[in-house]
């Protein structure tokens, strides 16, 4: 089940990073991540009061998955190291750059995705790991 369509992404969420022809793939991967982290609590349907939170979460996850994919990846946005003799520059990947901004380390994409889902769905009870 996809939790956000392109019309929600471009209209309500106001996203523009992912091209329309690629959005379905990344939204599906983001939805799978949401299902995994919520222990499939939303598979039978999203409660109306959580619909906007879940869709926004899906859009933000999809954007970050796109950003770190081959499709959305640029040469990197931050310099990781630079050497002067025989001139050499190494760039951080987008994933490393955002992870550094998140928590001061190169923890990676998994930490970024979990931070996103925690921000959107953390207070809904959907991420509860115990028994209901």
What rounded mean pLDDT belongs to the chain?
84
Reported as a single tens digit per residue, the pLDDT across 58-68 is 999 999 988 87
Instruction: Tell me what pLDDT residue 112 has.
Output: 85
Instruction: Tell me what pLDDT residue 78 has.
Output: 60
Reported as a single tens digit per residue, the pLDDT across 73-126 is 444 456 556 667 777 777 666 666 666 666 655 456 788 899 999 999 999 999
DSSP string, the chain: --S--HHIIIIIS---SS-HHHHHHHHHHHHHHHHHHTTTTTTT---GGGHHHHHHHHHHHHHHHHHHSTTT--S-SEEEEEETTTTEEEEEPHHHHHHHHHHSS---HHHHHHHHHHHHHTTTTTT--S--
Q: Does residue 48 register a pLDDT over 90?
A: yes
Instruction: Tell me what pLDDT residue 115 has.
Output: 92
Contacts of 124 (CB under 8 A, 6+ apart): 50, 53
Q: Could you tell me the CA-to-CA distances from 43 to 11, 34, 111, 119, 126 in Å, in that order?
A: 24, 10, 24, 20, 12
Residue of higher predicted confidence among 55 and 101: 55
The structure's pTM equals 0.75
């Amino acid at each position: 089940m996809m939790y956000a369509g392109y019309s929600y992404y471009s209209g309500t969420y106001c996203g523009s990073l992912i091209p329309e022809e690629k959005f379905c793939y990344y939204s599906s991967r983001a939805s799978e991540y949401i299902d995994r982290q919520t222990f499939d609590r939303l598979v039978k349907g999203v409660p109306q009061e959580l619909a906007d939170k879940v869709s926004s979460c899906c859009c933000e996850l999809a954007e970050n998955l796109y950003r770190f994919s081959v499709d959305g990846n640029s040469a990197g946005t931050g310099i990781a190291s630079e050497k002067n003799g025989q001139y050499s520059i190494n760039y951080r990947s987008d994933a490393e750059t955002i992870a550094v901004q998140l928590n001061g380390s190169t923890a990676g994409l998994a930490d970024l995705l979990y931070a996103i889902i925690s921000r959107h769905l953390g207070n809904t009870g959907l991420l509860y790991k115990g028994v209901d």
